[in-house]
Structure 1
Amino acid sequence: MAKTDTAKSASQVKSSAAKTDEKAAKKVDTKKTDVKSSADQVKELQKQIADLKKQLDDKDNQYLRAEAEIQNMTKRFNKERAQLAKYDGQDLATSILPVLDNLKRALAIEVTDENGAQLKKGIQMVHDHLEHALKEHSITEIEALNKPFDPTTQQAVQTVAASGDQKKDTVVKVLQAGYQMKDRVLRPAMVVVAQ
């Protein structure tokens, strides 16, 4: 019986060893599969990380471009606002200039009686007050008489031959005064130029 028991034990040991070998082989296969799937997962995660980094870089670039555009828009807006403030009232000033011209024409008329002199004095006061108000807003008359002709501030409506001590291309007569607001011409001076 001892032989039978030993034989059974040996066969059980063999069977048990075979089962252990199978289990070990399965574990190795499972570990290989796990290692392969873990390596695949790592590669997939690295790919996702790279994609996310690329997306982050793209968003950073978009943000920087948007930030730069906002700064440029702000600068343009501030510049335009400064220009508007600088030349505020330009349209009003341009529409007042014909009134000033008419006051100058009225002052050029010779008067012979007391009533005319009083009226002319009143017109002179209005003229002076209007000129003062324009100067307060940096609106000044363009000095042209006996100055070299400047096409940026003057418009030649007639030319005459230079006579005496007149220099060529010099303004000899102002037909209508020109005005400028700061550095911007509101209306060019209408002039006669010596040739």
Structure 2
Amino acid sequence: MSEKEKVSEEVTETNEVEESTVDESTEETEVVSEVDELKKQLEETEDKFLRARAEIANITNRNRNERELLQKYRSQDLGKKLLPVIDNLERAMNSEVTDEQSVSLKKGVEMVLESLRQALKEEGIEEIPATGVAFDPNLHQAVQTVPASDDCPADTIVEVLQKGYKLHDRVLRASMVVVAQ
């Protein structure tokens, strides 16, 4: 082989090696690019998954809290409707009786009133303490004021005109009171 042919052959081999190197680097670049794209998609999918999981946990907690509140205050409407009944039974207890039949009737009313109070207590409905207590506008409604004295310091409840009741920490009806001023 002549020198010229040898050089030509070397150039051809070099070109083939360069072409194969270029083809390999192009393929590697494409593979790397595809891997990067897949990693990005995986990260996005994981992020969406974690956000969805957190949202489900939030919804579950919110529903549990709402159910607990509904359970805790389920007696609120019934309690509000029964408060006038208690007031009327207490008025009946304060009436004067003279004959034996009236005494018997009063005893029956007393038993009904006591069982009603017990049932309300079991549901979490309690009377708001008022007489002799410091006035609290969240629990009491002042309908009248009287001058303060040595016996009754200022902002103290002197008399209860209508009892107030609360269900756990909610006021069903504020106490109507007379306050020393």
TM-score, normalised to structure 2's length? Answer: 0.88
- 1:71 is the counterpart of 2:65: no
Report the alpha carbon displacement of residue 40 of structure 1 after superposing the two structures with TM: 1.1
SS in 2 for 1:111: coil
Aligned counterpart, 1:51: 37
Matched residues in 2 for 1:161 and 1:22: separation?
124
Aligned counterpart, 1:138: 124
- 1:153 is the counterpart of 2:139: yes
Matched residues in 2 for 1:138 and 1:81: separation?
17
Matched residues in 1 for 2:172 and 2:16: separation?
91
Matched residues in 1 for 2:47 and 2:180: separation?
63
Greater CA drift, 137-146 or 108-117? 108-117
5+ residue gaps, structure 1: 1-12
Report the alpha carbon displacement of residue 37 of structure 1 after superposing the two structures with TM: 1.8
Report the alpha carbon displacement of residue 22 of structure 1 after superposing the two structures with TM: 5.5
**Which of 109, 116, 119 is the matching residue for 2:102?**
116
Matched residues in 2 for 1:30 and 1:157: separation?
105
Larger Rg: 1
Aligned counterpart, 1:181: 167
SS in 2 for 1:117: helix
Report the alpha carbon displacement of residue 23 of structure 1 after superposing the two structures with TM: 5.9
**Which of 60, 77, 89 is the matching residue for 1:103?**
89
**Which of 49, 55, 61 is the matching residue for 2:47?**
61
Report the alpha carbon displacement of residue 169 of structure 1 after superposing the two structures with TM: 0.6
Count of matched residue pairs: 180
- The amino acid across from 2:50 in the alignment is L
Aligned counterpart, 1:42: 28
TM-score, normalised to structure 1's length? Answer: 0.83
4+ runs deviating over 3 angstroms = 20-28
Matched residues in 1 for 2:172 and 2:152: separation?
28
Matched residues in 2 for 1:163 and 1:118: separation?
42
Report the alpha carbon displacement of residue 106 of structure 1 after superposing the two structures with TM: 1.5
SS in 2 for 1:134: helix
RMSD value, Cα: 2.0
- The amino acid across from 2:179 in the alignment is V
**Which of 32, 35, 46 is the matching residue for 2:18?**
32
SS in 2 for 1:68: helix
Report the alpha carbon displacement of residue 119 of structure 1 after superposing the two structures with TM: 1.9
5+ residue gaps, structure 2: none
